[in-house]
């Protein structure tokens, strides 16, 4: 015969088991969000097993392929044959000072005002603190300056928004934002003015 305490224990055990299964199923459903279409795959860059995450050229190669297949347009790999995409390393004294830079990466006048050159610097220490999707976002942002001559956007949903620290982006957010950037279809687009443009 089951006493009152045994019955309560069995009921409690059953309740915990059901709750655990429901949470497990809910987690699986949340992880299985379908990725929207992109004509290139980012799996190689976003694979945590990729041991070459610090190879900045792979981000350039992905960007070039992405532009070509998204718009069927310009081959920036041919148009920009001079590539200077590099890490900048802060000294131990700079890091110890506690002064943090207001950017993680930057493009320069010699890149965005010269159609044959790409010139993008990335602060290595800050780069290593970002997740793989943030790194992809950062590099597309800098290529937006250098290749398209875009100024910053005021919309946080745009790749050209001047913040590279967003942690809430997922792959679909990135794909939607990069499509708007590549297709020149985000509101309020402004371009960097170069002397030859005047």
Domain ranges of the chain: 43-197
Using CA atoms, how far apart are residues 129 and 137, in angstroms rounded to an integer?
14
Using CA atoms, how far apart are residues 70 and 38, in angstroms rounded to an integer?
8
How does pLDDT run across 67-121, given as a tens digit for each residue?
999 988 789 999 999 999 999 998 877 777 776 677 889 998 888 899 899 999 9
CA angle, corner 188, sides to 185 and 191, nearest 5?
90
CB of 46 closer than 8 Å to CB of 39: no
How does pLDDT run across 13-54, given as a tens digit for each residue?
445 555 445 444 444 434 567 899 999 999 998 888 888 888
Q: What is the model's pLDDT at position 14? A: 47
What pTM value is reported for the model? 0.79
DSSP for residue 40: S
Using CA atoms, how far apart are residues 182 and 39, in angstroms rounded to an integer?
12
């Amino acid at each position: 015969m089951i006493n009152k305490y045994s019955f309560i224990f069995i009921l409690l055990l059953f309740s915990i088991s059901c709750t655990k299964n429901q949470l497990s199923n809910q987690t699986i459903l949340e992880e299985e969000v379908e990725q929207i279409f992109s004509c290139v795959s980012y799996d190689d860059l976003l694979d945590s097993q990729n041991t070459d995450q610090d190879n900045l050229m792979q981000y350039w190669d992905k960007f070039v392929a992405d532009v070509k297949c998204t718009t069927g347009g310009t081959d920036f790999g041919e148009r920009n044959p001079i590539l200077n995409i590099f890490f900048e390393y802060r000294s131990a004294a700079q890091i110890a000072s506690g002064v943090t830079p207001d950017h993680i990466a930057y493009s320069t006048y010699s890149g965005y005002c010269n159609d044959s050159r790409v010139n993008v610097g990335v602060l290595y220490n800050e780069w290593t603190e970002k997740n793989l999707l943030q790194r992809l976002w950062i590099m597309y942002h800098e290529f937006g300056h250098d290749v398209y001559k875009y100024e910053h956007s005021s919309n946080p949903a745009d790749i050209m928004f001047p913040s590279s620290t967003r942690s809430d982006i997922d792959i679909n957010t990135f794909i939607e934002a990069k499509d708007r950037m590549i297709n020149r279809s985000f509101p309020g687009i402004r371009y960097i003015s170069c002397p030859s443009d005047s």
